[in-house]
Structure 1
Amino acid sequence: MFFMPYPAKLSAEAVLDAAQRLLEHSGPDALTMRALADALGVRPSSLYRHFSSREVLLRALGDQAALNLKDQVLDAAEGLAPRAALLAAAQAYLAYTRTHPHLYALLLTKENDLPLEHLQHSPGKILWNTLLLLIGRLSGDPDDTDHAVAFWTFLHGFASLEAAGTFGQSGPKRGFEVGLEALFNHMEEVGQAGKS
């Protein structure tokens, strides 16, 4: 194997890109610093110049996943009326969980050890605020945490059940649409009540 001499033309972005490819192709157990170094043609020690540990690398991948998901949700919702925008966002969210299951799992990693100031500006918080914005447009409450929690819980629960094969061969039928319709109807009812 050929090892690039130091200083290598190796950026944090290149490491993240290679890590994402390895993760998505082979799963989280295959993403070791040694395997990643092999994929990049460098010594493992070169990676630690950009990421101090595998855990830090995984967190960076999770942060990137949150921002990518936020972009997909916003792109899907762009230019649509509030209810249609939220439906498009939900469909984009579910499509992301199907296409990037390993990255999605990292996105949901708990961040207990992060300082509060980091959490307030973290990619996960940015994703949350994006969903909150779309929900607020439908319900009329820009800080509609109750509906945002219900919406995200529904999306994650559905995605998890689907990924686990819990729906079986018959599939979920129209369960996804029925659940969203009920949520959206309630959001609209609350919004209308707030206007009267």
Structure 2
Amino acid sequence: MQKFTVHIGQAAPLRASNVDTDQIIPVRFLTRLTKAGYGQDLFADWRDDPGFVLNRPPYDRATILVAGTDFGTGSSREGAVYALADFGFRAIIAPRFGDIFTGNAHQNGLLPVVVPAPVVEHLWDLLDREPTSPVAVDLVAREVRADGVECRFDVPEAVRDRLLAGLDDIGTTLRHTGDIAAYEARRRPALPTTTRRTGRGAGDP
């Protein structure tokens, strides 16, 4: 998983709230066996509209999405995160996220950033007025920065440590393979054993 420290990039203003996972990736596109390739179907039903924000430059190259409240609600489909990451997004900024979406995002290196609604409104206005104005998401300092914006955000310390190191749960576990092997070696003698019976005993056919 790619490390997340400080990301500075093009942001896209998605002026929509209650964006659920079926809007992010409609269920009919959940046919792949890998995480790759979902980006082409991100917001598929909305991208039929030429005026949709991600169809317009420079927003079509965005790596940060600025959305309204309750982003990623609805079903638990991890494909929503796959689609956003495969499109190229590294961070999503919104006032509130779906809980399961947040967990899925953390496991795949996508950072959900919770900021107050007025900060989102400011970023929307900034990006409408100056589309190429850079936005910084700094996980080291736990801060979002842009022209006229300097806002702290919270993230659980364990999640932050994993993202800074580029580790999901499996990667975190593999850092302790030596301890795991030592534990298994210690407990093996205490495990129950069976005696393999050879030959026939009384009552055997």
> Shared fold (TM-score greater than 0.5)?
no
> Larger helix proportion, structure 1 or 2?
1
Pairwise TM-score range, normalised by the shorter structure: 0.3 to 0.5
Structure whose residues are more often strand by fraction: 2
Larger Rg computed on CA atoms: 2
